Structure 1
């Protein structure tokens, strides 16, 4: 028994990659992608035929030059997602343009566009999670999209206010970023010795998980953005954990059983209050780490989206 196989018995393991060879190797239930991962994936030999298909699709759809570039960029994300779905039994998370993170209506429109592209490939919307940043606007968009049976993965989640608002909106899944929280605190308050029990990213997910279970929220908690396997093992038992190929490999080569740390105690005490928009914005603003990392994450994904579009603009 290795740690990866043991972990799979108590937590849904999700692959944080767009590379098919790793999907085949580690056999996760689900997979997640983002503009950064898609940008890496399009350089792989295995996906070159998909780039040609995306270009043909964009030309067929027509429109001006910029519209073709955008359509090709979206189509490649869908085609890679469709390819990954051939090798996993569960869902694929596909991220929309992060530049829309503060526009509810445009997020909804773009999500429908991505779903239509998947359905054109013969893939049901139940297999797709639309990834959007956990801004107030995107949380509201996710709530609306659920009415059309479109489920969302709320990513770039750093504050408890974000987690609470997502649960109250009954979104399908959240991705609290363990490693990026750890990075921020390490940059501000560096420590020479790593102790997982003091890891602020791990503490954040544990707090969210406990709150969700105590309030009987159905939103799935998926820990993300790990830097070391100690963080993963400290969250064993979490609903889902999305893990990079590098850390999946570490877990696979380490023998032994994984202890379940997080458990649903079935002790429900529903919080009847609901966060208003102003309360959400204030509570999130009170956490400087969350404010900085959310903004930084949106900018980074936006930059990679622009790089993806530039890559396609050169191919037309």
Structure 2
């Protein structure tokens, strides 16, 4: 019998949620994705010492540029061992500034171009704020495809689809965390609020003919992954990928199209109101931006100290 990882790959494109080159080479996902937190962990690995030094040398004292150079260098390495794309994130501190997000995204694409990596192999990760979604809409028009991250609410998903973004990353585990803490109980299987959120978004997209890819992210356990087998893509940590690789047993397709809601078109006021009404979505988006911003600052401090 094949492993659950191999069975999952029959229904879903598997993406590695890590900057660890060795783990990616071992587990052979199609795509990979990084963020400031993962890059900070990668910076502690001996393999990336030279990248850190080169990123600093070329940044002319600009810590933000050094971080972008490091992220692109790590991304280029990863692209050498995967057939698909790398997702590289814009500084989370720009999440409420459309023009600054556009400038940083274009810079990342330019840095990849300097490394000989075409934009067709890169997704620019942007937080799913109203301002971030507007930046992504413009980038898509320019032929720069995007991955809208820190997505917790249906309003974010609906707005992203109407903006024509290439891919969204709804955060299964962080939604689960919020409801577990708020309600003082655990959730398993199909009752998991994170699983329900991604399932609703997936069915909505399919029912309304959206081409935006749904990539479930931020998993806490194998059960969440198994419930979303059949989603367009799933981005999974190396530990959970290894557990899937080591586990035998049937893994049937769980997520199917059908039963999706009618299309919603959200203007800015409606989007902000729906976010305001969603305590979980509002709190987790703000928390996620803060956490990524702190890790960005730590990475900048590390690069400045070299």
TM above 0.5, one fold? yes
- Give TM class, smaller chain: over 0.9
Runs of 4+ in 1 over 3 A off after TM superposition: 267-270
Q: TM-score, normalised by structure 2?
A: 0.97
Deviation of the 1:112 alpha carbon: 0.2
Distance (Å, rounded) in 2 between the aligned partners of 1:126 and 1:285: 36
Distance (Å, rounded) in 1 between the aligned partners of 2:236 and 2:131: 27
Q: 3-state SS of the aligned residue for 2:59?
A: helix
Asked whether the 8 Å contact 1:216–1:270 carries over to 2, the reply is no
Deviation of the 1:56 alpha carbon: 2.1
Equivalent residue for 1:121, pick from 97, 115, 120: 115
Equivalent residue for 2:200, pick from 203, 207, 211: 207
Distance (Å, rounded) in 1 between the aligned partners of 2:84 and 2:304: 33
Structure 1 unaligned regions, length at least 5 = 60-64
1:306 equivalenced with 2:297 (yes/no): yes
Asked whether the 8 Å contact 1:165–1:280 carries over to 2, the reply is yes
Asked whether the 8 Å contact 2:203–2:260 carries over to 1, the reply is no
- Deviations 1:38-73, CA, capped at 9 Å, x for gaps: 0000110111111122122213xxxxx4xx222111
How many positions carry a matched residue from both structures? Answer: 305
Asked whether the 8 Å contact 1:236–1:260 carries over to 2, the reply is yes
Equivalent residue for 1:221, pick from 214, 219, 227: 214
Residue aligning to 1:105 = 99
Residue aligning to 1:288 = 279
- Deviations 1:169-224, CA, capped at 9 Å, x for gaps: 110000000000000011111225x4212110000000000000000100000000
1:257 equivalenced with 2:266 (yes/no): no
Structure 2 unaligned regions, length at least 5 = none
Residue aligning to 1:29 = 30
1:143 equivalenced with 2:137 (yes/no): yes
Asked whether the 8 Å contact 1:235–1:262 carries over to 2, the reply is yes
1:239 equivalenced with 2:232 (yes/no): yes
Equivalent residue for 2:82, pick from 75, 79, 88: 88
- Deviations 1:154-178, CA, capped at 9 Å, x for gaps: 0000000000000011100000000
Distance (Å, rounded) in 1 between the aligned partners of 2:171 and 2:66: 29
Deviation of the 1:76 alpha carbon: 0.2
Distance (Å, rounded) in 2 between the aligned partners of 1:246 and 1:42: 19
1:45-64 to 2 correspondence within 5 Å? 45-59=46-60
Residue aligning to 1:185 = 179
Deviation of the 1:256 alpha carbon: 2.2
Residue aligning to 1:62 = none
Distance (Å, rounded) in 2 between the aligned partners of 1:199 and 1:16: 21
1:39 equivalenced with 2:32 (yes/no): no
RMSD between superposed Cα atoms in Å = 1.3
Residue aligning to 1:158 = 152
Q: 3-state SS of the aligned residue for 1:155?
A: strand
Q: 3-state SS of the aligned residue for 2:126?
A: strand
Deviation of the 1:297 alpha carbon: 0.2
Select between 231-240 and 181-190 the one with higher mean Cα deviation.
Answer: 181-190
Asked whether the 8 Å contact 1:216–1:268 carries over to 2, the reply is no
